[in-house]
Amino acid sequence: MPGATKIILVRHAESNVTVSQIVGGELTCTGLSELGLRQAARLRDRLRDEGAAADALLSSPLPRARETAEILAPVLGRPIGFVPDLEEHRPGEADGCPFVDFPDRFGMFDFRAEPDRPFAPGGETLREFHERVVTRLQRIEADHNGSTVVAVCHGGVIDAAFRHYLSIGIAAPFDLWTLNTSLTEFVIPEVGARVQLRRYNDAAHLTGLPAKTVQAKTVK
């Protein structure tokens, strides 16, 4: 009989697009900030010191997740399997849009109240995003039954995992504040058993680092 299936979700380290305050999709994500590189290195060192092991290492192919996974891979000793279904909510024409310009260009709306409205033209709806992530999680469970899987992904993916595993639904009115490089762990003791949430937002390795990169204000 296979043992428990462990799915450990790692939110990517701080990204350049977050520092620049722009919507970062596949066209404009340029990877990790200087602080993000330090965050990922801290997590790598923690995993090494704890003797962490994984049977599989998966990652979103977006640069901010890919670079995080590449930093962790030598410690985990596994090749990275890039999985597009682990990407963040796909923004369509909003890719690269500054946050401050988004309301004027695409209009602000409540994603949870309108789950079938695209993020922007050409982008995903919240329902499409949620279904994509849940379908992939179910496939990971089936493909890696009894194994430990580390998946480097995004805040939205972790939110979708919570709503799926805790049977909360996409419209439940709450928001998660998932820290960069934090660990979220779900355990399935056996096929058909209740899922256990073992930890969320475990970011003890970030102690002493700045919470985020603060951009210097331009003096006009």
Instruction: For 1-33, write each residue's pLDDT tens digit.
Output: 578 999 999 999 999 999 999 999 999 999 999
Burial grade of 133 (CB within 10 A; 0-12, 13-18, 19 or more): buried
Give me the residue spans of the domains in the chain: 5-206
Q: What tokens does 57 get?
A: 């290492």
Threshold 0.85, pTM exceeds: yes
Q: 7, 8, 9, 6: which is closest to 157 by C-alpha? A: 9
- With vertex at residue 20, the alpha carbon angle to CA 110 and CA 8, rounded to the nearest 5 degrees, is 70
Residue 80 CA to residue 197 CA, distance in Å, equals: 24
Superfamily of domain 5-206: Phosphoglycerate mutase-like (3.40.50.1240)
Q: What is the pLDDT of residue 2?
A: 74
Residue 70 CA to residue 22 CA, distance in Å, equals: 24
